[in-house]
A and B are shown apart, each in its own frame.
Chain A
Amino acid sequence: AQSVTQLDSHVSVSEGTPVLLRCNYSSSYSPSLFWYVQHPNKGLQLLLKYTSAATLVKGINGFEAEFKKSETSFHLTKPSAHMSDAAEYFCVVSGANDMRFGAGTRLTVKP
């Protein structure tokens, strides 16, 4: 069985400051991991994915995530938040036949 835990349901940062969204995973084998973003009333957009290549994954819009097997973590970071980053973020683990979503983290960006 596999699952993900997003450690924060809500994160609030000021514009221009760093963003850290935390995710821990559980998987019985080497997982594929993803971060998706969902803006209000919109579909899901893939930010980045890890599929056992480089452990530091760079995604779109300046986001990146580091796969740490020893910590079973896949935290999402961005050096400088922008107002347009305000959205819901989902950490996802993928197996052979399905994807399991975390509960989501709502990112608020203050001016």
Chain B
Amino acid sequence: GAVVSQHPSRVICKSGTSVKIECRSLDFQATTMFWYRQFPKQSLMLMATSNEGSKATYEQGVEKDKFLINHASLTLSTLTVASAHPEDSSFYICSARWSGPGDTQYFGPGTRLTVL
């Protein structure tokens, strides 16, 4: 099956620093990628939809200036958490949409962000 990677898998940073998370589709091209956030023992919440070559579409309540998304190529999307604070600590998961038969999203393994 299709593979989506995320890097890093885990990051710990000090409050006020910016953190970049990469999401790559390894064996297919993804015109659309999605970013989710998951709090402990809770479901995934869609943060934004990222389309290659255009601005991301953010869900209501998600600060676009805090969570910067770039989808520069058909295989790479990045999420930058700007000036991270402890409340931004969470599990961030990306997915890439394969536009072939079945039209399935494939999920990355997630990135655990801890802001001290």
Contacts and interface: CB of A to CB of B under 8 A. Distances in A.
B104 A101 contact: no
A35 interface: no
Nearest to A99: B105
Query: What's the dominant secondary structure at chain B's contact region?
Result: strand
Size category of the A interface is 20 to 34
B44 A101 contact: yes
A74 interface: no
B43 A101 contact: yes
Interface string B12-56: 000000000000000000001010100000111110010000000
B42 A42 contact: no
Contact of B32 (A42, A43, A49, A97): A97
Interface of A: 32, 34, 36, 42-46, 49, 51, 90, 94, 97-104
22 contacts: A36-B107, A42-B109, A43-B93, A43-B107, A43-B108, A43-B109, A43-B110, A44-B95, A46-B1, A94-B103, A94-B105, A98-B34, A98-B49, A99-B34, A99-B46, A99-B95, A101-B44, A101-B46, A102-B43, A103-B42, A103-B43, A104-B42
